[in-house]
Amino acid sequence: MVHLFLSKPDWNWDGGDNSVKQRISLLNDLESMILSLVVDHSRSEARLWLCKDVSGISSLSHMQQCELFLTLLRTSSQKRDLAAQILQMIFEKQPRKAGSILAKKSDMLEEFFRGSTRRILLWFSCFSGTSDMEHRKGAKAISQFAFMNRDICWEELEWKGKHGQSPAMVATKPHYFLDLDVEQTVENFLENVPEFWSSREFADTLKDGDILFLDMNFFINMFLRLMYKEDMEEIWKIINEFLMEESFSSLCSHLLITLNESELCVFLDLLTNFLDSNTKPKNSGDMCDYLEVILPRLNGMDSMDELLLLNTVVNRRRQLVQLLQEDEHREEKTKIKDIVQKICSLPENPNSLVPLIKEYSKKKVINLIKLLGLQSWALHYFMSEGYWASEDWESLFNSNGIRFRHAGKHELLHDKRLIDDSDSDSRRKKKAKHRKKRRKSTRDDRYVDDFADFDFEYNRMGFQSKESYWLLSTDGYSTSWSSEMENRGLQTTGGPQSVGDGGSGTSKNRHVMEERRSATTDDRRSHNR
């Protein structure tokens, strides 16, 4: 974000109409190219990016997120698909809640077992072979019900031996149930013992929800019927509780991908109702905060294309650069590269965007956000392609008051004593002991030694001493930056966002960045530099 004011701008500066018009024209050309690339060729991918970034919004309360998704569940044209996904989440994360519903509707499970040998055996064959172990699941239900109601169902028990077992015999030797022909017995119960399926014994074995995992799709469809045809209050209650308890991020990650584009627009419209239109970006470094600024300023969702563009250039800069590396986008890459070079070759001035901001802040704010986002991405791409030489970056640092020092000129890096092969083992052990002791020191002490320790980190990372490595310090941060001359990119994995957001993350770029937050006084930071 270097061009977007590293140093404080002069708001009285006006760069002349020609420079502003030229920049706007080039940014509009860049917009057209990116719009074509993202919307026409990679739309599904851009939608996934948007859904993932929407899930990062953190300003909604649990009550608001519950209201948002419940509204969709009751009004959306895709409400059944959405409800099915929510039910699956409940089954997987909180099966007991669904099990409590099944226990009240246990008679409906006749349909589940009828004609399915696999389901019957999986659920009802869990008889124990030892006296100190209980029967489990459906086996427990059959044994308990059979003893309690032996006058009406004992004859329906089918045994594998030559003769059946009496209740008295099985009561003293429960393992005899292992000789039960489970499949035939359950089929007999389905035909002749309807009381079993609504019994307390059978219902109790359903409460833990384990039965859901025998065939989750069956139970999802069963619950959907109870929700939308019978409007069963208990199911809506557990869904309401789940939507209150689950995180917004998790709900979005699982549910938004089930929506088609028109329903995604409906969701975003509903979401906008819960966002403050006066929200300003936070200084948290979380790029998802920008969606909270963008969404309320899009009038209606008549411009999904524009939203996909905005989210891509603001939140998905790296992915956009990576997209350009694909073979099928060579033509677009050539055109975009040409536009970016022109944008970044305009006369540089710390206040170069002031007229642009002044002009568009009086109009539709979303247009200003878009142009600044495009300008930011243009710089990001420019950096990732490594167009500038080391001297150009140093000039940029100097003009913005970013203090730096060449790693190649650091005196400790050239101290022959550090690399003298004739050093004795005792001397190396002493240094190791010193480093170990230093690691145990306080946080403040370690920051004082940031630059003094850099020689060891530098060598471990496999660098060679070059003039193009810098030690930067700005706003209380100490950050090591590296840029291989001309043909290599620049990226940070840490450090203040105002310094830079470069690098595409592609294999073309090699970059190592390390951030340390300095908690020392200005004098100590000055000493480090």
* Residue 65, strand partner residues: none
Q: Using the predicted structure, report yes or no on whether residue 458 has a pLDDT greater than 60.
A: no
Q: Report pLDDT for 516.
A: 32
Q: How confident is the model at residue 8 (pLDDT cuts 50, 70, 90)?
A: low
Q: Report pLDDT for 479.
A: 54
Round the average pLDDT of the chain to a whole number and report it. Answer: 75
Q: How confident is the model at residue 288 (pLDDT cuts 50, 70, 90)?
A: low
Q: Report pLDDT for 110.
A: 94
* Exposure class string for 478-505: b at 16+ Cβ within 10 A, else e: bbbbbbbeeebbbbbeebbebbbbbbbb
Among 173-177, 307-311, 433-437, 483-487, which stretch is predicted with the lowest mean pLDDT? Answer: 483-487
Q: Report pLDDT for 232.
A: 93
Q: How confident is the model at residue 6 (pLDDT cuts 50, 70, 90)?
A: low
Q: Using the predicted structure, report yes or no on whether residue 491 has a pLDDT greater than 90.
A: no
β-strands 469-474, 477-482 pairing: antiparallel
The whole-angstrom separation of Cα 262 and Cα 47 is 12
3-class state of residue 202 by DSSP: helix
Radius of gyration of the chain (CA): 34
User: What's this model's pTM, rounded to 2 decimal places?
Assistant: 0.71
Among 285-299, 355-369, 496-510, which stretch is predicted with the lowest mean pLDDT? Answer: 496-510
Q: Using the predicted structure, report yes or no on whether residue 457 has a pLDDT greater than 50.
A: no
The whole-angstrom separation of Cα 474 and Cα 459 is 24
Q: Report pLDDT for 190.
A: 96
User: To which H or E segment does residue 341 belong?
Assistant: helix 330-344
Among 136-140, 378-382, 387-391, which stretch is predicted with the lowest mean pLDDT? Answer: 387-391
Q: Report pLDDT for 425.
A: 52
β-strands 469-474, 514-517 pairing: unpaired
Among 50-59, 369-378, 468-477, which stretch is predicted with the lowest mean pLDDT? Answer: 468-477
Q: How confident is the model at residue 162 (pLDDT cuts 50, 70, 90)?
A: low
104-128 pLDDT tens trace: 999 999 999 999 999 999 999 988 7
The whole-angstrom separation of Cα 298 and Cα 515 is 36
Q: Express as a percent the part of the chain with pLDDT over 90.
A: 40
Q: How confident is the model at residue 439 (pLDDT cuts 50, 70, 90)?
A: low
The whole-angstrom separation of Cα 253 and Cα 54 is 9
User: To which H or E segment does residue 114 belong?
Assistant: none
The whole-angstrom separation of Cα 267 and Cα 47 is 13
Q: Using the predicted structure, report yes or no on whether residue 350 has a pLDDT greater than 60.
A: no
Q: Using the predicted structure, report yes or no on whether residue 99 has a pLDDT greater than 70.
A: yes
The whole-angstrom separation of Cα 304 and Cα 167 is 70
Q: Report pLDDT for 408.
A: 58
Q: Report pLDDT for 463.
A: 37
Q: Report pLDDT for 514.
A: 32
Q: How confident is the model at residue 417 (pLDDT cuts 50, 70, 90)?
A: very low
Q: How many residues does the chain have?
A: 529
Among 277-286, 416-425, 469-478, which stretch is predicted with the lowest mean pLDDT? Answer: 416-425
Going by the DSSP 8-state scheme, the letter that residue 180 receives in this structure is: B
The whole-angstrom separation of Cα 192 and Cα 198 is 13
Q: Report pLDDT for 433.
A: 56
Going by the DSSP 8-state scheme, the letter that residue 461 receives in this structure is: T
* Averaged pLDDT, 405-422: 50
* Residue 311, strand partner residues: none
